[in-house]
Amino acid sequence: MDNSRPASALAQRSTRLAFLIAGFSGAAWAPLIPYVKLRCGLTDAHLGLLLLCLGMGSIIAMPVAGSLAGRFGCRWIIAIATLSVCCTLPVLASSDFMPFLVAALAIFGAGVGSIDCVINVQAVIVERACQKTMMSGFHGLFSVGGLLGAISVSGLLGFGFSPMQASLFVIALLFLSGGLALPGLLTGRTSSAGDGPAFAMPHGIVLAIGIMCFIVFLAEGAAIDWSAVLLTTARHVNMRYTGLGYVAFASTMTIGRLLGDWLVRRIPGRVLVTGGSLLAALGMLLVAGVPVWQITLLGYTLVGAGCANVAPVLYSAIGRQAFMPEHLAVSAITTLGYSGILVGPAALGFVAQVVSLPFALGVISALLAVVAIMGIVLPRALISADHTK
């Protein structure tokens, strides 16, 4: 950035806090989904359509956010996106009027998607400036935020708080953490932004990485949006405790990512991508195929552990490729990848309605095996950490 020092300790701290905010805001919504489903009397297919509004808002906002980050920096984009999340969460927690829910979900999705895109732009710049592996740690704090969001909202609901009261708690924390993060978020034009296009279609190795991210994030989206529904409808767990599925997933993902920078320096990226994808595929197979809620929770722990460092390794690779400018590559990868976490769960709703939810999750297991195969054929130099220290 023109007017910032990305390697500064303040920039690193703010990047970590921004990832924490992103994870917290997205996961805080997950325990509220069964309440929305019950309050509005939705079927799985109708819920899938509603979730599609969230995904479409994110997918539309991500390229715009990435382009604006390339031209103006990350700070105010993240601030405005966080504010939009805070304004829409109370509507999601209380309204049963479908037009309000549709609009609120689209705006909420746009806010979450913009944050997710821009924090990765910031992370690529900060990691390269520091010349050491930091991406897994950044994404680890995203998982910490997700874990805290799921635990806190599930805990409040379990103690008898209403969804609205839980959402106000989330908003207070987002305002506090957002204010602390702002000073170190980068401003100004990226070195590669220039006057290029606002968005570019991914191609070459960037497209391959985007497809892999799509599948990995699809598995994460299934854990966020459908674990509570699966535990309620297919495993007959009390609604107050259905957030445990995401907690199991997020716990091992968080631990794996917090250890990730240490692992990346010692284990080849190809091994982390391939081995992690196979472990996640096994976990999702347990979730889909064994109708025992304890085994379902075990499956989600394996999915979280397996997926933990796949995306961070792939995002670091974006900082090394020369096919596209970094802000456009990150924007394209985030848009394609996060469509898995945002639009993918809506598609799962349709499959669940036609066949069954366990069958839909079994398809994700097969797709994760495809990621493992793609990891084997990725160029070694692209997913190595030899440029770091």
Helix (H) or strand (E) holding 255: helix 244-258
The CA distance from 123 to 374, in Å, is: 24
The CA distance from 229 to 44, in Å, is: 9
CA 130 to chain CA centroid, Å, is 24
Question: Is there a contact between 149 and 246 (Cβ–Cβ < 8 Å)?
Answer: no
3-state DSSP of 225-248: HHHHHHHHHCCCCCHHHCCHHHHH
pLDDT of residue 365: 94
Q: Show the tokens assigned to 184.
A: 């170190």
pLDDT of residue 245: 87
* Burial degree of 238 (CB within 10 A; 0-12, 13-18, 19+): exposed
Length of the chain: 389
Question: Is there a contact between 334 and 120 (Cβ–Cβ < 8 Å)?
Answer: yes
pLDDT of residue 388: 42
pLDDT of residue 306: 94
pLDDT of residue 5: 55
pLDDT of residue 110: 92
In angstroms, what CA-CA distances link 72 with 66, 193, 195, 258, 386?
10, 10, 12, 30, 31
pLDDT of residue 342: 67
DSSP notation for 260-278: HHHHHTTS-HHHHHHHHHH
CA 9 to chain CA centroid, Å, is 25
Question: Is there a contact between 220 and 307 (Cβ–Cβ < 8 Å)?
Answer: yes
pLDDT of residue 188: 66
Q: Show the tokens assigned to 319.
A: 């900082």
Map out the domains of the chain as residue ranges. Answer: 9-189+199-377
Residue 239: partners with Cβ closer than 8 Å, 6 or more residues away = 34, 38, 232
The three-class DSSP label of residue 385 is coil
- Angular region, 61: left φ>0, alpha ψ -120 to 50, beta rest: alpha
pTM reported for the whole predicted model: 0.74
The CA distance from 119 to 334, in Å, is: 10
The three-class DSSP label of residue 345 is helix
Question: Is there a contact between 230 and 348 (Cβ–Cβ < 8 Å)?
Answer: no
The CA distance from 330 to 124, in Å, is: 8
Per-residue pLDDT reduced to its tens digit, 252-287 = 988 998 898 888 888 888 889 999 999 999 999 999
* Burial degree of 3 (CB within 10 A; 0-12, 13-18, 19+): exposed
pLDDT of residue 210: 87
List the CATH code of the domain at 9-189+199-377: 1.20.1250.20
Residues of the chain with pLDDT below 50 are 1-4, 193-195, 386-389
Which DSSP state fits 200? -
Per-residue pLDDT reduced to its tens digit, 317-364 = 876 766 776 767 777 887 888 778 766 777 888 888 888 888 989 999
pLDDT of residue 389: 40
